[in-house]
Structure 1
Amino acid sequence: MKKGEQAQGAAPDTRERILRTASELFYREGTRAVGVDLIVAKSGVAKTSLYRHFATKDDLIEAFLLREDEDFWQHWDAVAAEHKGAPREELDAQLQWIGDRIARPGYRGCPQINIAAEYADDKHPARKVAVAHKRELRRRLAELAGAMHVDEPETFALRFGTIIDGALSSGRALHAQGPARFLQALAQMLIPTKKPKRKSAPL
């Protein structure tokens, strides 16, 4: 391989560089506070290059949220694969990494919740991604609840999905023992423990 070809292969893809830069800025500062000129300056690309890959800023915001969505579900799927056939243990493990995510340095809240707060228009492409993400979270929680034989799994999913959203929004501030312990303790409260049936006395 020629030297020039090696350099070209090693250089980050322009679209990925733009998206990575925009994602960092959007998450830290909010999408409305970040303009295209700042993204261009920080990513070191020409504005024409940005618009070649993202026709509008809204397209870039949507791509940012899709990137966050993919990362979230990749983590979830990896945990699920480690706990096949053990839904209760899987739920605890899912809550552990979500709690760790909240506790990490630089955490600025749930990107989906942040976007939903910034864009009230249901037709906005990024808001659609955010709504679909929360719908998928409830679906997966209902699936786990069903596997644990919880009564009314959809109700459990709605309740616990709301709790997770609350933890994602409040961050570390409200959880003295850490977000993971907070979520796991609430899960324990919401999942009823079935008492063994009492044997009838012999006649």
Structure 2
Amino acid sequence: MRPSKRDELVRKALETFYRDGFHATGMDQLVAETGISKTTMFKHFRRKEDLILAVLRLRDEDFRNWLFRRMAQAGPARAQLAAMFDALAEWFAGPGFRSCMFIKAASEYPDPVHPIHVQSAEHKRLLFLQLRRIAEQAGAADPAGLARALLLLKEGAIVTAHLGHEADPAGDAKSVAEVLIAGACPPPGTVA
């Protein structure tokens, strides 16, 4: 099925915003890079911020689907928790890695009630909920606490990878995560 002009615009805008940032990317640049006229853009999105929100929703869906699919391939829940960092290593090594779009959006729109900031925070909340579910399945004594700790490691690894001052931030984070997981979850084959 051929994507609609709106879907095409959102996908192309995602690439541009991810690469160049939100405030630095003007509508004229979006027109030039997407090949979609301003008239068509404004037909679908009244304001640039509306387009940014659509981009963040798409990125959220794509990223969470990719991440949790990669984690599920690791097998049991306990292995899935550690596999999050293997997935991150793949992402970091990719040619288009430019840090976390949601961290960037929240930084560019720092007011905690601004819709773009709220959408960015929602992405992190949804990641937490899924990690907490997996931690519950793994038998963690405190699934929410483990999920929060793993997300802190994940965010730190992303920032470290973006800054580029460590050789293997995902591997370093995974080493710490494995210690946390071992302390929080019963060993495989035992009853919680």
User: TM-score scaled by structure 2?
Assistant: 0.85
Q: Is 2:53 the partner of 1:62?
A: yes
Q: Give the whole-Å Cα distance in 2 for the aligned partners of 1:13 and 1:132.
A: 26
* 1:152 corresponds to which of 142, 145, 157: 142
For the pair shown, which has the larger CA radius of gyration, 1 or 2? 1
Amino acid at match of 1:163: L
Q: Is 185-194 or 107-116 further displaced after alignment?
A: 185-194
Would you say 1:25 and 2:16 are equivalent positions? yes
Letter in 2 for 1:73: R
Contact 1:76/1:94 (8 A) holds in 2: yes
TM-score, length-normalised on structure 1? 0.81
The aligned residue for residue 108 of structure 1 is 98
Partner of 2:180: 190
Q: 1:194 to 1:54 in 2, by over 3 A?
A: closer
CA contact (8 A) 2:81 2:135 kept: no
Cα distance in 1 for partners of 2:41, 2:66 equals 29
Letter paired with 1:127: H
CA-based RMSD of the aligned residues comes to 2.2
Residue 165 (structure 1) aligns with: 155
SS in 1 for 2:23: coil
Of stretches 16-25 and 104-113 in structure 1, the one that deviates more from structure 2 is 16-25
Answer yes or no: is the 8 Å Cα contact 2:135–2:147 preserved in 1: yes
Q: How many equivalent residue pairs?
A: 184
Q: Which runs of 4+ in 1 moved over 4 A?
A: none
- Distance in 1 (CA, whole Å) between partners of 2:159 and 2:13 is 22
Unpaired stretches in structure 2, ≥5 consecutive residues: 188-192
* SS in structure 2 of the partner of residue 183 of structure 1: helix
Between 29-38 and 134-143, the greater mean CA deviation after superposition: 134-143
Tell me: CA distance 1:33–1:61, structure 2 relative to 1, closer, same or farther (3 Å).
same
| SS in structure 2 of the partner of residue 92 of structure 1 | helix
Query: Post-superposition shift, 1:80?
Result: 4.9
Change (3 A) 1:117 1:49: same
Note the residue ranges of structure 1 that are not aligned, 5 or more in a row.
1-8, 196-203
- Structure 2 CA distance for aligned equivalents of residues 102 and 182 of structure 1: 13
Task: Encode CA deviations 1:44-82: one digit per residue, 9 max, x unaligned.
Answer: 222111000111100111111111101112113423543
Q: In the aligned structure 1, how far is the partner of 2:150 from the partner of 2:68? A: 19
1:90 Cα deviation after fit: 1.4
Instruction: Give yes or no for the alignment of 1:138 onto 2:128.
Output: yes
Q: Percent sequence identity over matched residues?
A: 33
Corresponding residue SS for 2:156: helix
Q: Which residue of 2 aligns with 1:93?
A: 83
Match of 2:7 in 1: 16
Work out the CA distance in 2 between the residues paired with 1:128 and 1:74: 20
Matching residue of 2:69: 78
Kept after mapping to 1: 8 A contact 2:19/2:98: yes
